[in-house]
Amino acid sequence: MRKTLKRVAAAVAVVCCAMPAMAQSFNWKKHDGQTINLLLNNHPWSQAIKEMSGEFTDKTGIKLRVEIFNEEQFRARLNTVLQAKSNDVDIYMSLKFREGTMYEKAGWYADLTPLLNNPTATSPDFRFTDFGEGLRNAETINGKLVGLPINLEGPLFYWNKDIFARCNVAEPMFLEDLPDTAAKLKACQAKGDATVWAARGIRGAIAYAVSGFIYNSGGDFAGPNGKPNLCAPNSIKGAEMYANLLKDYGPPGAANHTFTQVIEMLGQGKLAMTHESSNEFANIMKFPGREKDIGVKVLPKGKATGISKPIVFGWGVSVSNYSTKKEPSWYFLQWATSAEMQARLVRRGVAPPRSSVFNGPDFKSWTAELPIRQAWANSLIEISKTGTAISYPPTERVVEAREMLGGAVQKIFLGQANAKDAMCQLDADLAKLQ
């Protein structure tokens, strides 16, 4: 589980051994007339797939029923279906670094390895090794292929350059600059026309965004002995900075906010800075004027530590082990993650996990159209080089550990505990969890 995702652009050489005649002989219509059910998290990839579903039906004859929910509702619905061993869902999205071990132990993932290795089930055009090695490894648990990667993402630092210029405040170059930058912006925003800082404050979503603060401050989730290390001074420092930015400069009701509220404020031009998902870039750019006044980069490195260690990972799409339509579902996975589809999804702001697409002409021409797109792409390359997928303490009970981390950070910005007490108590609670 504790694997650093490798740079997509540095994936192993593409294996392109398919002959045109072989590709033409693959029977995409083998399951004509079937219907498969998809349960997806609200995500630019999901929205695009739903809109393009008719193309898959035209190609295969397989109809798609697509349900999309916001993440909390998506997870609640998915867990209910899988716990019931129901075949109501054939395909679902999954974050393997978050729930992979737990889902695999529960028997919820279909093993896709036999389908991948079956020439009658897998198109010779598929080119599995075109995916970055780290992303392929992330979708493989105990030797079983349990999904395919659909994107590359991680939290990035966004700031409104117009607000900074209006307040004559410099772009922060180091993590330690953020509190002083926020204070200057707050003094300038006396009329309250913009919120200085917003970030994920809801308990279950905090781990994703606070991790970079902990790492760049020199902290870590585990010590040399492999035990929880959030009570260490540098870990406390990073968590405290994140919490204090929310407490002192965040919007009302921050404890109930996740990415949807943050992106809405940023998109409306009412937020000076945030640390939010690279995957929301396309949604931000839908708002008029944002392509001109938003800056984006990797969270600034620690000045004292010199560390820049961002979070980076990719969502995957999996087949339920209880599906009675595993092979038709595998056909969908091949189509949805193909190089052709990824090249089109680039324009929806979905960063491609295939090396050939990330380094290909479609992605490069799209990013070259606007400086903000190039900055976004450069940030993705950087986090792919230096990032980690680990945004939780050392345990297989990842979901509970992330909730506990979020609860500790909440206590700090809600004034229910000081940073040292909250994080040291967290370590003690995590020790009981293992």
Residues 137-146 have pLDDT tens digits of 889 999 999 9
Q: At what angle do helices 96-106 and 398-413 cross, to 10 degrees?
A: 140
> Residues 282, 328: one domain?
no
> Residues 258, 197: one domain?
yes
Give pLDDT, residue 1.
42
> Residues 362, 419: one domain?
no
> Residues 220, 301: one domain?
yes
Decide the pairing of beta strands 316-319 and 91-94: antiparallel
> Residues 223, 329: one domain?
no
Domain assignment of residue 106, yes or no: yes
Domain assignment of residue 277, yes or no: yes
Q: How many residues does the chain have?
A: 434
| pLDDT over 60 (residue 338) | yes
Give pLDDT, residue 24.
53
Residue 326 has which token pair? Answer: 């595993």
> Residues 180, 160: one domain?
yes
DSSP one-letter code for 252: T
Q: Where residue 429 sits, what CATH number does that domain have?
A: 3.40.190.10
Q: Which of 369, 395, 410 marks a domain boundary?
A: 369
Domain assignment of residue 403, yes or no: yes
The backbone region for 393, taken as left when phi is positive above 0, alpha when psi lies in -120 to 50, beta otherwise, is beta
| pLDDT over 60 (residue 382) | yes
Mean pLDDT of 80-108: 95
Q: Which of 337, 369, 401 marks a domain boundary?
A: 369
> Residues 161, 298: one domain?
yes
| Terminal C-alpha separation, the chain | 15
Alpha-carbon gap, residue 297 to 382, rounded angstroms: 9
Query: Of 66-75, 113-122, 182-191, 376-385, where does mean pLDDT reach its minimum?
Result: 182-191
Condensed to tens digits (0 to 9), the pLDDT of residues 11-58 reads: 322 223 333 334 458 999 999 999 999 999 998 899 999 999 999 999
> Residues 17, 82: one domain?
yes
> Residues 319, 267: one domain?
no
Domain assignment of residue 321, yes or no: yes
Domain assignment of residue 38, yes or no: yes
Mean pLDDT of 115-144: 92
Condensed to tens digits (0 to 9), the pLDDT of residues 199-219 reads: 999 999 999 999 999 999 999
| pLDDT over 50 (residue 260) | yes
Alpha-carbon gap, residue 256 to 252, rounded angstroms: 9
> Residues 103, 225: one domain?
no
Domain assignment of residue 182, yes or no: yes
| pLDDT over 80 (residue 121) | yes
Residue 267 has which token pair? Answer: 């998109």
> Residues 15, 144: one domain?
yes
Q: Is the dihedral of CA 94, 154, 199, 347 positive or negative?
A: negative
Domain assignment of residue 375, yes or no: no
Alpha-carbon gap, residue 207 to 410, rounded angstroms: 11
Alpha-carbon gap, residue 195 to 193, rounded angstroms: 7
Give pLDDT, residue 347.
83
Q: Which of 322, 339, 369 marks a domain boundary?
A: 369
Domain total for the chain? 2
Range of the domain at 161: 155-311+384-433
Nearest to 57 by CA among 31, 84, 24: 31
Domain assignment of residue 281, yes or no: yes
> Residues 143, 162: one domain?
no
